Amino acid sequence: MNWLRTWMLGPEGSAYARQVDNLYVFLVLLSIFFFVLVAGLALGSVVVWRHKKGRKTPHITDHVGLELVWSIVPLIICIGVFFWGLHGWLQYTVAPNEALEITVVAKKWQWAFEYPDGTRTLNEVHVPINKPVRFIMTSEDVLHDFFVPDMRVKADIVPGRYTEVWFNPTVEGLHHATCAEYCGKGHSDMSAKVYVDTPEKYAKWVAEGGDEWKTMSPQEYGLYLYQSKGCETCHTLDGSRLAQGGPTWKGVFGKMEKAGDGKEYKVDENYIRESILNPGAKVVAGYDNIMPTFQGLLREREIRALINFIKLQK
């Protein structure tokens, strides 16, 4: 049955996921049974008792026994399924005390994660394997929903209050988190990478951050940051302009841009750095001041890499 489970539900990232999947598979089998019953009776009747002119039909108005059976049997099954679902859900609602706590701040359209030690990341989060992790989440604007399909958990994120999800990951590697509550233009691009690391890898990551940049070319690494940090939600690389977006990066480096204050500025390293850390300072005329600050969300290395990447977009 494992292949069926994986085929229907995708990879499982935790023991809890297996529990959910067991109920799911049971319900699939139950549904197939009842569907075959209904379809068989309906289509069988059509075939067996197809129309013949003048044939009389029996006048059967009810049958108490039968009606009790098809009321009570489904009721018992339903109550059983209710308790099975409740059993799993109770586990989903209560995180263990020793869980690693990560704060999540969601906003259009990015995920910011903050670790207890103050480490902050954007659109990616590293967690150690076989250790429960609890996400305490809030939103800065509209509703969002943190959904990790491999872990079979999700929870809405509501401005003005905290909601939480937790899981105990058992499968190393990359899992996806995604926004499951509609939040506008960038809703479907609002995703985060959830890396489940071995304890050694995790310790190393906490100490130095990721090492993906070491093996990538400046163009590759820049593109990786452009996609993973959410730049692509607003800035294009092909010269086009997105609605409610910012200036394209194509050919922008070295250009003279007119800001909202009427002065012209050269787009150089310092201008880009300022635009990342303090985006409201010199907004190009004709664009809205809507970019969030990335202060504290990008490492120095990453800012430098993005500047290099913009230089490469000729």
Q: CA 222, CA 180: separation in Å to the nearest integer?
A: 28
Q: Does 289 bind another protein (CB under 8 A)?
A: no
User: Which listed residue (145, 197, 257, 302) binds another protein by CB under 8 A?
Assistant: 145
150 to each of 17, 18, 21, how far by Cα in Å? 7, 10, 11
Of 154, 229, 282, 311, the residue at the interface with another protein (CB under 8 A) is: 154
The verdict on 160 binding another protein (CB under 8 A) reads: yes
Between residues 126 and 154, which has the closer beta carbon with respect to another protein?
154
Q: How far is the CB of 74 from another protein (least distance, A)?
A: 5
Place of tokens 């959910």: 20
**In whole angstroms, how close is the CB of 84 to another protein at the nearest point?**
7
Write the burial class of residue 81 (CB in 10 Å: 0-12 exposed, 13-18 middle, 19+ buried). middle
269-304: string of b/e by CB count within 10 Å (b at 16+)? Answer: eebbeebbeebeebbbeebeeebeebeebbeeebbe
- Furthest-apart CA pair in the chain: how many Å? 93
Comparing CA positions, the residue from 163, 158, 10 lying closest to residue 92 is: 163
Binding-site member from 106, 127, 132, 149 for another protein (CB under 8 A): 149
Give me the half-sphere count of Cα atoms (radius 13 Å) on the Cβ side of residue 28.
12
Residue closer to another protein by CB (options 154, 282) is 154
2 binds another protein (CB under 8 A): no
Residue recorded with tokens 């500025």: 265
Nearer to another protein, 13 or 311 (CB): 13
The C-alpha atoms of residue 255 and residue 271 are separated, in whole angstroms, by: 11
58 or 116: whose CB is closer to another protein?
58
Minimum CB distance to another protein smaller for 28 or for 206 = 28
**Residue selected from 1, 2, 3, 55 as contacting another protein according to rule CB under 8 A:** 55
Provide, rounded to whole angstroms, the least separation between the CB of residue 173 and another protein: 16
Token reading at 80: 């059983």
Task: Pick between residue 114 and residue 181 the one whose CB is nearest to another protein.
Answer: 181
215 CB contacts (<8 Å, ≥6 apart)? none
Span near another protein by CB under 8 A; candidates 42-50, 122-130, 202-210, 246-254: 42-50
**What is the residue-wise DSSP string for 192-205?**
EEEEEE-HHHHHHH
Mask 179-198, x = binds another protein (CB under 8 A)?
xxxxxxxxxxx---------
- How far apart (Å, rounded) are the C-alpha atoms in residues 28 and 103? 36
Q: Which positions from 58 through 117 interact with another protein, judged by CB under 8 A?
A: 58-63, 66-67, 70-71, 74-75, 78-79, 81-82, 84-89, 91-93
- When binding is defined by CB under 8 A, the residue of 4, 15, 46, 285 that contacts another protein is 46
Site for another protein in 233-262 (CB under 8 A): 243-244
| Distance, CA of 148 to CA of 192 (rounded, Å) | 9
Distance, CA of 31 to CA of 26 (rounded, Å): 9
Interface size with another protein, residues (CB under 8 A): 84
Judged by beta carbon, residue 184 or residue 296, the one nearer another protein is 184
The residue (of 74 and 286) whose beta carbon lies closer to another protein is 74
The residue range among 28-36, 95-103, 117-125, 290-298 that interacts with another protein, by the rule CB under 8 A, is: 28-36
Q: Which candidate, 117, 131, 228, places its Cα nearest to that of 172?
A: 131
